[in-house]
Amino acid sequence: MKLLLEEHLRAHIEKLASKIGERNVWRPEALHAAADYIRDTWRQLGYEVHAQGYNAKGVWSENLSIEIRGDKRANEIVLAGAHYDSVKGSAGADDNASGVAALLEIARLLGGKKPERTLQLVAFVNEESPFFYFGEMGSKVYARAARERNDDIRMMISFEMLGCYNDQPGSQKYPPFMRWFYPNRGNFIGFVSNLKSRYALKEFSQAFAASSDFPFETLASPAIVPGVSWSDQISFWHQGYQAVMVTDTAFYRNPHYHRATDTPEKINYAKMSCVVNGLAGTLCVLVKA
């Protein structure tokens, strides 16, 4: 089972970051190829895929989503998402083909589940610059529409870089005031929230601990701390939703962050598969599947 999950994760990341490569509005064919790959993979698993399209910099862009409908509490939504675009000049294996690969495999692992709450999985477009924060981020478009519909999203989880792990001392960096309180080895997965989402962070981390023995660290912090708000969770915070980021800590650990060297062979697939399996179990706990 573990080896099969590793193989699937590797195949997804190699497809997105090697065969398709850099994918953003400056390479629209690649951006559309990534969207088509996500759509086709979910359809092959038997899901109905919904697209939310809009134009960004004159390029047609799509958020793609599927859902496993809840039974007893169907209006209560747990949403997990990851962005599938990459920054200009990078193949984006860890950032963020790894997050997308997790979404695709969680859909496979949870197929056939009958949860009480509804689980939504969303592949967001246009997270990277120049869209982040100020522009038409895919998650910003999605969260704004969800709030207009008054969707009852109980928790949003952003998968943002899940593939870099290092057991060497000194491999993990932090902002100066945090380094005394956390491990100096980058061999854990991080769960991060702003202060308003600290209760969601606690619920999420408890669910992960019940589902996996993989090491993790948590941080509830003001969003001003560098990196805390740097992904799609910020779009949901702005709409008043509770949201948590799952991350290998990006530039605090990965030397290939936003570089051309962020390629598939740098991913630690064995440890990533443990994380993804734990995330699948965590989502089952949260939606009561």
Structure tokens at 55: 């134009």
pLDDT in tens, the chain (289 residues): 778 999 999 999 999 999 999 999 999 999 999 999 999 999 999 999 999 999 999 999 999 999 999 999 999 999 999 999 999 999 999 999 999 999 999 999 999 999 999 999 999 999 999 999 878 999 999 999 999 999 999 999 999 999 999 999 999 999 878 888 999 999 999 999 999 999 999 999 999 999 999 999 999 999 888 888 889 999 999 999 999 999 999 999 999 999 999 999 999 999 999 999 999 999 999 999 8
Structure tokens at 271: 């440890």
- In this structure, what CATH number is given to the domain that contains residue 68? 3.40.630.10
Strand, coil or helix: 255: coil
Angle formed by the axes of helices 98-109 and 28-44, to 10°? 20
Strand, coil or helix: 157: strand
The whole-angstrom separation of Cα 208 and Cα 274 is 11
Give the number of other CB atoms < 10 A from CB of residue 238: 16
For residue 204, how far is the Cα from the chain centroid?
14
Predicted local distance difference test score (pLDDT) of residue 144: 97
Kindly report the backbone phi and psi dihedral angles of residue 218, in degrees, each rounded to the nearest multiple of 5, phi listed first: -120, 155
CA dihedral 32, 36, 39, 40 (to 10 degrees): 180
Predicted local distance difference test score (pLDDT) of residue 105: 98
Instruction: State the DSSP code for 207.
Output: H
β-strands 117-124, 152-160 pairing: unpaired
Give start and end residues of each alpha helix (H) in 15-153: 28-44, 98-109, 138-148
Predicted local distance difference test score (pLDDT) of residue 179: 81
Instruction: State the DSSP code for 83.
Output: E
Instruction: Tell me the Cα Rg of the chain.
Output: 17
Global pTM value: 0.96
* CA 287-277-77 angle, 5° bins: 20
Strand, coil or helix: 62: strand
Structure tokens at 250: 């990006």
Domain that holds residue 12: 2-287
Predicted local distance difference test score (pLDDT) of residue 223: 87
User: In the chain, how many domains are there?
Assistant: 1
Predicted local distance difference test score (pLDDT) of residue 1: 72
Give the number of other CB atoms < 10 A from CB of residue 60: 14
**CA distances (Å), 234 to each of 29, 100, 229, 238, 254, in order?**
28, 18, 6, 6, 22
